[in-house]
Chains A and B, each alone.
Chain A
Amino acid sequence: MGLLAYGADGYGDELLAGAWVTVQLAVFAYALAAVLGTLMAILTLKPRGVRWAVGRVYASVATGVPSLLVIFLLYYGGTEIVHALLVPFGVDERPSISPFWAAVAALAFVYTPYLADLLRGAIHNVPKGQLEAAEALSVPRRQIWLGVLLPQALRIAYPGFVNIWVVLLKDTALVSLAGLTDLIAAAKVASGSTREPFLFYGVVVVFFVLFAAATIRLANRHARRLDRGVRPSEA
Chain B
Amino acid sequence: MSFDFALAWDSMPALLNGAWMTVLITASVMAVGAVLGFGMCLVRMSRNRVLAAVGAAYVAVFRGAPSIVLLYLVYAGLPQLSIVRDTPLWVLFASPLFCAILGLGLNHSAYVVEILRGALSAVPPGPVEAALALGLSPRLVFLKVRLPIAVRYGLKAYQNEVLIFLKSTVAVGAVTIADLTGAANEIFSMTYDPFTPLVTAGAMYWAMTNSLRLAFEALDRRLNRHLAAGVPDSRPATARRADPGSALFRRLRRSPAKPAE
Contacts and interface: CB of A to CB of B under 8 A. Distances in A.
Interface of A: 56, 59-61, 63-70, 72-73, 76-77, 80-81, 83-84, 113-114, 117-118, 160, 163-164, 166-167, 170-174, 176-177, 184, 187-188, 191-192, 195, 197-198, 201, 204-205, 208-209, 212-213
Majority DSSP secondary structure for residues of A touching B: helix
A65 B259 contact: no
Contacts of A76: 188, 194, 198
A208 B65 contact: yes
A136 B259 CA distance: 39
B73 A201 contact: yes
15 contacts: A64-B206, A65-B202, A66-B205, A68-B171, A69-B201, A69-B205, A73-B202, A160-B258, A174-B68, A187-B72, A201-B69, A204-B69, A208-B69, A209-B60, A213-B64
B81 to A, nearest CB: 9
B66 interface: yes
B28 interface: no
Contacts of B76: 191-192, 197, 201
Given A65-B206, A173-B68, A177-B171, 14 more contacts: A64-B206, A64-B210, A69-B205, A80-B1, A117-B255, A117-B256, A167-B259, A174-B171, A188-B72, A192-B76, A195-B80, A198-B73, A208-B65, A209-B64
What 4 A-B pairs are tightest by C-beta distance, nearest first? A173-B66, A77-B194, A76-B194, A209-B64
Contacts of B60: 209
Interface string B47-59: 0000000000000
A184 B170 CA distance: 15
B2 to A, nearest CB: 9
A208 B64 contact: yes
Contact of A64 (B169, B170, B256): B256
Nearest to A85: B1
Interface of B: 1, 60-61, 64-69, 72-73, 76-77, 80, 164, 167-171, 173-174, 181, 184-185, 188, 194-195, 198-199, 201-202, 205-206, 209-210, 253, 255-261
Nearest to A209: B64
A197 B181 contact: no
Contacts of A212: 64
Contact of A198 (B77, B168, B184, B195): B77
Contacts of A160: 258
Contact of B198 (A72, A113, A117, A188): A72
Nearest to A195: B80
B170 A69 contact: yes
Majority DSSP secondary structure for residues of B touching A: helix
Contact of A163 (B73, B174, B259): B259
A66 B209 CA distance: 10
Contacts of B64: 205, 208-209, 212-213
Contacts of B261: 163, 166-167
B68 A77 contact: no
A193 B69 CA distance: 17
A60 B60 CA distance: 31
Contact of B80 (A77, A192, A197): A197
Nearest to A121: B255
B176 to A, nearest CB: 12
Nearest to A202: B73
Contacts of B198: 69, 72-73, 76-77
B108 to A, nearest CB: 13
A160 B160 CA distance: 14
B73 A69 contact: no
A119 to B, nearest CB: 12
Contacts of A171: 66, 168
Contacts of B210: 60, 64
A52 to B, nearest CB: 10
Contacts of B67: 170, 173
A66 B181 contact: yes
Given A60-B256, A197-B80, A209-B60, A67 B66 contact: no
Contact of A73 (B61, B77, B199): B199
Given A66-B181, A73-B198, A77-B1, A209 B61 contact: yes
Max count, chain B CB within 10 A of own CB: residue among A69, A77, A164, A188: A69
B205 A80 contact: no
Contacts of A114: 258-259
B164 A184 contact: no
Given A68-B181, A208-B65, A81 B202 contact: no
